[in-house]
């Protein structure tokens, strides 16, 4: 049974998300000792995960022993965008480490949701200007978001793309036309490179 206070808190936050242009796409879910809700941006490029811990003596005591601070129920928000090069941009109020494939920016826990959403959209815009070949992937349903989350989890354990050679197939996977991919990374590019040395 979901505790009324965390469930109400998540419902209120989901209403705030709707005000930022997001649409909830599944029911509130109880996970471990908390409640989570998820929503998708109107264009399908960014998903939001909101989580709250149920207040309880066990969690409060665990936090007291770990950090020396007694706390009540907390709430975290995370906005994630996946790009066509299998990289992720994450803006969150939770503790999350960056990886070569995942650029994370952590804001203060008390950051308003609208500020978090605005900051994430600013980061997307800057990221797309910086790497002009990137495009955000569009997700339309919970199953696609779950698949993207699994890919993000896998990206945390695989080596960086920077250490892997650029191949015509890798470029085609990113949406580059086959002939252009061959010119950029195929035998023609290698021959041209040796001629200019």
Q: What pLDDT sits at residue 54?
A: 53
**In a shared domain, residues 154 and 180:** no
Question: Is the separation of the CB atoms in 58 and 30 below 8 Å?
Answer: no
**In a shared domain, residues 153 and 172:** no
The whole domain housing 122 covers 4-161
Q: What pLDDT sits at residue 45?
A: 92
**In a shared domain, residues 157 and 127:** yes
Q: What pLDDT sits at residue 53?
A: 61
Q: Which residues pair with 80 in a beta bridge?
A: 47, 90
Length of the chain in residues, anyone?
197
DSSP character at residue 33: T
Q: What pLDDT sits at residue 4?
A: 53
**In a shared domain, residues 16 and 85:** yes
Give the separation between CA 35 and CA 73, rounded to whole angstroms.
Answer: 11
**In a shared domain, residues 28 and 120:** yes
**In a shared domain, residues 136 and 191:** no
**In a shared domain, residues 18 and 41:** yes
Contacts of 127 (CB under 8 A, 6+ apart): 83, 89, 103, 134
Query: In whole angstroms, how large is the CA radius of gyration of the chain?
Result: 21
**In a shared domain, residues 130 and 193:** no
**In a shared domain, residues 96 and 58:** yes
**In a shared domain, residues 132 and 178:** no
Q: What pLDDT sits at residue 14?
A: 84
Question: Is the separation of the CB atoms in 155 and 103 below 8 Å?
Answer: no
**In a shared domain, residues 84 and 109:** yes
Q: What pLDDT sits at residue 196?
A: 41
Token pair belonging to 188? 């023609």
Q: Which residues of the chain have pLDDT under 70?
A: 1-6, 28-35, 53-74, 157-165, 186-197
Give the separation between CA 11 and CA 136, rounded to whole angstroms.
Answer: 28
**In a shared domain, residues 74 and 112:** yes
Q: What pLDDT sits at residue 1?
A: 38
Domain count, the chain: 2
> CB count, 10 Å around CB of 116?
22
């Amino acid at each position: 049974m979901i505790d009324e206070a965390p469930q109400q808190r998540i419902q209120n936050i989901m209403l705030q998300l709707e005000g930022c242009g997001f649409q909830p796409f599944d029911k509130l879910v109880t996970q471990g000792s908390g409640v989570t809700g998820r929503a998708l941006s109107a264009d399908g490029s960014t998903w939001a995960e909101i989580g709250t811990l149920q207040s309880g003596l066990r969690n409060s005591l665990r936090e007291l022993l770990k950090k020396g601070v007694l706390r009540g129920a907390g709430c975290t928000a995370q906005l994630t965008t996946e790009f066509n090069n299998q990289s992720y941009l994450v803006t969150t109020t939770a503790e999350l480490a960056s990886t070569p494939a995942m650029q994370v920016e952590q804001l203060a826990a008390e950051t308003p949701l609208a500020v978090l959403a605005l900051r994430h959209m600013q980061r997307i815009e800057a990221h797309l200007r910086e790497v002009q070949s990137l495009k955000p992937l569009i997700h339309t349903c919970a199953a696609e978001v779950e698949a993207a989350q699994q890919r993000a989890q896998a990206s945390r354990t695989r080596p960086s793309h920077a250490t892997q050679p650029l191949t015509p197939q890798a470029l085609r996977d990113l949406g580059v036309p086959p002939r252009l991919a061959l010119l950029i990374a195929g035998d023609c590019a290698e021959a041209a490179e040796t001629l200019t040395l």
